[in-house]
Structure 1
Amino acid sequence: MRIAVTAALTDETITPVRLAKELEERGFDGLWVPEHTHIPVERATPFPYADENGEVARWYGRLIDPFVALAQASAVTSRLHLGIGVLLLAQHDPIVVAKQAASLDHVTGGRFSLGVGFGWNKEEAADHGVEWSSRRDLVLDRMRLMRALWADEPTEYKGVYGSVRASVAYPKPVRGGSPRTMLGGAAGPKLFSHIVEYGDGWLPLKGADLRETLPVLRTAWEEAGRDPEALQVVPYAVDPTPERMAVFAELGIEEVVLLMPADEESGMLRALDDFARYLH
């Protein structure tokens, strides 16, 4: 089983360069980083992972841009896989993201994974001009536009929310078609339809309830005519225990992303020491 970590890298934590070097030297498979552009102080949206005082964790408003962090990490590694978990695509210009993602995939030699998510913070999304109720449809439209830019030949796309002319757009993703694309979000027909259309697989948060949800996704995947062997399910932000990891192995999971504490450098390195027991 491949073991990666996700870390909230901020101006107060270990640097992307130091962490990436440590991960590669210790034998970890990958580094994933989250994204929030900002966290408005005015908040009507309940925070799903509040602290004991009901407050948003400090790191949410201090995150380093994921493309910047992973570009740094890529420059000092040769093997480590690098992913965004997850990019809030509704809040971005898809033409720019298509360029950023393909460029990072190119300079890393195909070591990049684009995790796509829909967000939880209505105020953050509103500042980006996103209508909350339509954000999933917006993400779908933007993925279709991005895939047109990644196509081998200039391809026009006219969507509900955006369009692009047939264009020369290089570099292309290393494997062709798209970078490895994984979706985050809660299990359900809407999410699974997105995964089936444009994803390589799912990042189930904490890996919870996979005994029930994984067969549903596999059925949807196969009914869409996609190769059953190609589906990738990667439990994400997992607090590992031997028992939990054994369940993943039983379910045929080949890759897990463990959750690092948003701590100062010494605390994050201690977490890597603890995680070493799961490396094989």
Structure 2
Amino acid sequence: MRIATTVFLTDETISPVRLARELEQRGFDGLYLPEHTHIPVSRDTPAPMGGPLPREYGRALDPIVALGQAAAVTERITLGTGVALVAQHDPVHLAKQAATLDHVSGGRFTLGIGFGWNKEEAADHGVPWAKRREIVRDRMALMRALWTDEPTAYDGEFGSVRASWAHPKPVRPPRARKHAGPLAGPRVLIGGAAGPKLFAHIAEYADGWLPVGGSGLRESMPQLRAAWEEAGRPGEPEVVPYAVRPSAGKLAHFAELGLREVVVGLPSAGEGEVLRALDAHADFL
């Protein structure tokens, strides 16, 4: 099983360059970074984990910029967002960033995406909260149009793009990923809680699911597979448990379910504490 990592990198933590080098040298598989552009102080939305919102949420580095640094000093590890808040982006710009990062890293980029939880943050980006899922779906379709080999126009409810020259293209074409079918672009995984709505989104325009923590997968994976088959997708969706606190039993359970990748959490901390966490996780490699 491949073991990747996720961490809130901030202006107070270990640097992207040092962490990426350590991950590659120690044999870890990858690095996923979360995204928050800002956290409004006048916040009414409860923290997703309950209690006070941790300090790192308002100090997170931009994931694309940080992953670009990581790509420059590594050759093997995968690089991903966990997750990019697509509704808060200009999709033409995000399509260019994703394709460029995939290109310069030699096809190592995974675009993990989500719908967001912080209403105030989304509002500052002009995102109508009740429409955010539809906006993400629409923006992903627009981005796919820009990632196709030939100039392709897209006219959607929330955005449009003319048939355009848009290079570089993401490295991995659809034929290189049997489960992807006709989808162009880098690997796309969607984060979110299990349910028919999420699974329908995954089956329509993604390659798989990023379930936080990875609990309840034995019950939910058949539902995801059913949605996948109903959508006429070949193969099976990828399922990558995310921000996991690893244990031998938990990883054995994931392996029994046929999963091939897990993303373990690291502390948002300075160099010493992060390296000690890597030492502890190394037992599972």
- The TM-score bracket by the shorter chain reads over 0.9
Q: Deviations over 1:169-188 (max 9, x none)?
A: 00011112110101000111
Note the 1:37-48 alignment, pairs <5 A.
37-48=37-48
* TM-score (ref. length: structure 2): 0.95
CA distance in 1 between counterparts of 2:38 and 2:8 reads 14
Please tell me whether the aligned partners of residues 4 and 257 of structure 1 are also in contact (alpha carbons under 8 angstroms).
yes
Q: CA deviation at 1:190?
A: 1.3
Kindly report the root-mean-square deviation, in angstroms, between the aligned alpha carbons of the 2 structures. Answer: 0.8
Aligned to 2:263: 257
CA distance in 2 between counterparts of 1:48 and 1:82 reads 24
SS of the aligned residue for 2:130 comes to helix
Aligned to 1:198: 205
CA distance in 2 between counterparts of 1:48 and 1:199 reads 24
CA distance in 1 between counterparts of 2:43 and 2:205 reads 33
Aligned to 2:278: 272
Q: Deviations over 1:140-162 (max 9, x none)?
A: 00000000011111111000000
Note the 1:158-169 alignment, pairs <5 A.
158-169=155-166
Query: Does residue 1:149 correspond to 2:146, yes or no?
Result: yes
Letter in 2 for 1:138: I
SS of the aligned residue for 2:117 comes to coil
CA distance in 1 between counterparts of 2:138 and 2:88 reads 13
Aligned to 1:96: 93
Aligned to 1:107: 104
Q: CA deviation at 1:212?
A: 0.7
Aligned to 1:180: 187
Equivalent residue for 2:243, pick from 227, 237, 244:
237
Equivalent residue for 1:246, pick from 239, 252, 274:
252
Identity percentage over the alignment?
67
Please tell me whether the aligned partners of residues 103 and 171 of structure 1 are also in contact (alpha carbons under 8 angstroms).
yes
Equivalent residue for 1:224, pick from 219, 224, 231:
231
CA distance in 2 between counterparts of 1:151 and 1:253 reads 29
Equivalent residue for 2:55, pick from 52, 58, 68:
58
Q: CA deviation at 1:228?
A: 2.5
CA distance in 1 between counterparts of 2:103 and 2:14 reads 26
Query: Does residue 1:211 correspond to 2:197, yes or no?
Result: no
Q: CA deviation at 1:24?
A: 0.2
* TM-score (ref. length: structure 1): 0.97
Please tell me whether the aligned partners of residues 218 and 228 of structure 1 are also in contact (alpha carbons under 8 angstroms).
no
CA distance in 2 between counterparts of 1:148 and 1:193 reads 20
CA distance in 2 between counterparts of 1:164 and 1:184 reads 26
Runs of 4+ in 1 over 3 A off after TM superposition: none
CA distance in 2 between counterparts of 1:228 and 1:222 reads 9
Letter in 1 for 2:211: P
Count of matched residue pairs: 275
SS of the aligned residue for 2:8 comes to coil
Q: CA deviation at 1:194?
A: 1.1
CA distance in 2 between counterparts of 1:277 and 1:241 reads 10
CA distance in 2 between counterparts of 1:17 and 1:56 reads 27
CA distance in 2 between counterparts of 1:135 and 1:160 reads 12
SS of the aligned residue for 1:160 comes to coil
Q: CA deviation at 1:263?
A: 1.5
Note the 1:4-23 alignment, pairs <5 A.
4-23=4-23
Aligned to 1:81: 78
Greater displacement, 105-114 / 41-50:
41-50
Q: CA deviation at 1:197?
A: 1.1
Q: Unaligned 5+ residue runs, structure 1?
A: none
SS of the aligned residue for 2:82 comes to strand
CA distance in 1 between counterparts of 2:280 and 2:6 reads 15
